[in-house]
């Protein structure tokens, strides 16, 4: 059996009891190590807690065939650990499909992830639209396909969850081109950098999916003992020092409920100004009032 097990957000103890029992009976244990990190846990602490040796599974191992992970998984128990929930990244869906093609039994054990724990900021999960990912821009690569998804969310009044890029065991373009297995130091996108990139693309597109005054909530170190929230406009948060990783941003939608606003006002410096920004922002994409069609009298 191949077990795919969600670890939750921060601590070794965040794993479920069922997940822990599965880990402890497995012959091999792999930890996915490129879509997220377990903020309050080192690999050594996980090994001590599980009583098992752990092998780090980088992007290359997982996305280039998964043969090592799947080897003999039809005869022995193997587990693949994922920070957050198992299906928080599409590459894990691919792993399940590969197992099915090779008739390897798979069992999934879920856990909390940013996709549901983001509700801790006070915004209702029912009011979220499409989730987007914000990647690090380079001199030659500044993708903006996510912009259209924000626009779609905003048109129907829904919040947008923005997942911020992390780079773990990544090669520079030069080293990759030269075939040198030299990896860059880990990098984690900050709230300020995310907001700067949002403003840059709006300046380029000028379609007003959002403006510098669009209200947002910054979420930092979700699920850890250093969890923090900060609400402000995109412009304000582009100057915000969000501290240690990991970070997530939520762009508010037009249908922000009064209860949601009351909650996130606790994370605001200037409450009256923030309320004003929310009210002004809610005018974007506001549906026109319904007007009955004129009745045409036949002669």
Spatial separation of the C-alpha atoms in residues 146 and 152, rounded to whole Å:
10
Residues near 115 by Cβ (< 8 Å), separated by ≥ 6? 84, 85, 88, 131, 161
> First CA to last CA across the chain, in angstroms?
78
Residue 213 neighbours by CB distance under 10 Å:
15
Quick one: DSSP state of residue 129?
Answer: -
Note the Cα 276 to chain centre separation in Å.
28
Summarize the annotated binding site as residue ranges.
Answer: 9, 85, 88, 113-114, 164, 222, 247
Quick one: tokens of 264?
């996130």
| Nearest Cα residue to 254 out of 270, 225, 277, 232 | 277
Summarize the annotated binding site for S-adenosyl-L-methionine as residue ranges.
Answer: 9, 85, 88, 113-114, 164, 222, 247
Are 4 and 62 spatial neighbours (Cβ–Cβ below 8 Å)?
no
Q: Is 211 exposed, middle or buried (0-12, 13-18, 19+ CB in 10 A)?
A: middle
């Amino acid at each position: 059996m191949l077990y795919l097990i969600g670890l939750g957000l921060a601590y070794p103890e965040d794993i479920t009891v069922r997940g822990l029992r599965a880990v402890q009976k497995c012959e091999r244990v792999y930890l996915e190590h490129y879509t997220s990190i377990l903020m309050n846990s080192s690999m050594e602490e996980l090994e001590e807690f599980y009583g098992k040796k752990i092998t780090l599974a980088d992007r290359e191992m997982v996305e280039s065939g998964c043969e090592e992970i799947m080897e003999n998984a039809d005869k022995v128990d193997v587990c693949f650990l994922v920070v957050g929930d198992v299906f928080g990244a599409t590459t894990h869906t691919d792993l399940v499909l590969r197992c099915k093609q090779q008739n390897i039994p798979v069992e999934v054990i879920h856990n909390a992830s940013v996709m549901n724990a983001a509700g801790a900021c006070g915004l209702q999960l029912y009011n979220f639209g499409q989730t987007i990912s914000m990647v690090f821009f380079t001199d030659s690569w500044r993708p903006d396909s996510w912009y259209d998804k924000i626009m779609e969310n905003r048109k129907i009044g829904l919040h947008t969850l923005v997942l911020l890029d992390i780079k773990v065991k990544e090669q520079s373009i030069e080293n990759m081109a030269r075939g040198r297995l030299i990896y860059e130091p880990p990098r984690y996108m900050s709230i300020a950098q995310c907001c700067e990139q949002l403003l840059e693309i709006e300046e380029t597109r000028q379609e007003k999916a959002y403006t510098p005054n669009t209200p947002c909530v910054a979420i930092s170190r979700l699920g850890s003992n250093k969890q923090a929230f900060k609400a402000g406009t995109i412009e304000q948060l582009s100057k915000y020092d969000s501290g240690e990783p990991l970070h997530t941003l939520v762009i508010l939608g037009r249908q922000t409920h009064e209860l949601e606003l009351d909650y996130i006002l606790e994370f605001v410096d200037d409450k009256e100004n923030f309320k004003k920004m929310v009210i002004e922002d809610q005018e974007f994409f506001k549906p026109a009032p319904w007007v009955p069609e004129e009745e045409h009298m036949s002669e």
